Amino acid sequence: MERLTQYATGGGCACKIPPGELEEVLSGFGVLPPEEAEAELLVGLATGDDAAVVRIEGGAAVISTADFFTPVVDDPYDWGRIAAANALSDVYAMGGRPIMALNLLCWPRDVLPYDLAREVLRGGAQVAREAGCHVAGGHSVSDPEPKYGMAVTGLADPGELMRNDAGRAGLPLSLTKPLGLGVLNNRHKSTGEVFPQAVATMAALNAEAARAAAAQGISCATDVTGFGLLGHLHKLARASGVTAVLDAAAVPLLEGAREAVRDGYVPGGSRRNLDWVRPHLAADGVAEQTLLLLADAQTSGGLLLAGEIPGAPVIGHLVADRGHTVEVRA
């Protein structure tokens, strides 16, 4: 089998533009609304949420998002499943349900056979089918580096949206998938070792967690992807005007994650995440390896919820603003 990860400089969500650099690009980027808008914008650029949301005639909220990345595993079918689950996750993180997706495919057509691309698309279609979401076309370009993902449209009730700026002091914090995907994927890319627990976690939809959150009336959430738990928690706390207190010992980890950090398989994206959050972080006495795991760049990670749902561990809570966005306790 072709080792797809060897054709990519990065891997999965760890190949994202670093959050600090992205915010610098977007700073001062004023977008004037249309004079006669066809829909009311409910969620846009302001808080860096997971997707854009508009309210259309009739009252429904339409969610729009796009996500694609380089190979995170060598198996093309699994890569397709993971990339699709990751793209669909943004809709679930907003409290919506995906209804339609478009494939986004970049392919080195003179290097890798189209049979592999077909397997990638087949994996994406299978996960979309599990989500009850139509795949109705897409776009492809020739590219020296393979990339795949989806643009996804979803629907929600505007009154049941989950946003990253709706956190309140006193709410518990829950996480629905374990961490460690970035370091295990980096070990896979470096050594060829396969980690079925990581593949299963990444390919799993966040649909059940989103439904459970809706049933509990949770209104604040985000998904944990390329900016790591610390990065996404920082964004949530900053947008909500609170401080997040995190119990490091309560955060679930995938088997082998600590060993991967110990052995040096930390993606550059994870280190950049920690560097970005560190000025806003209080973490006295917390080991650097623990902080790297908490900042680990996840691909198709779980939902971070300001609330509790069955089966998801409580990993901390929100408190009134203490002058920093995140506080980690060992």
- Catalytic residues, by residue number, are 13
CA angle 101, 104, 107 (to 5 degrees): 150
- 281-282, strands of its sheet edge to edge: 221-223, 303-306, 172-175, 314-320, 242-247, 326-329, 281-282
Can you name the residues that pair with 186 across neighbouring β-strands? none
Pairing type for strands 134-142 and 97-107 reads parallel
Return the closest-CA partner of residue 190 out of 83, 267, 75, 300: 267
DSSP classification of residue 38: S
**Alpha-carbon span 277 to 246, nearest angstrom:** 14
CA 23 to chain centre: 17
Three-state secondary structure call for residue 221: strand
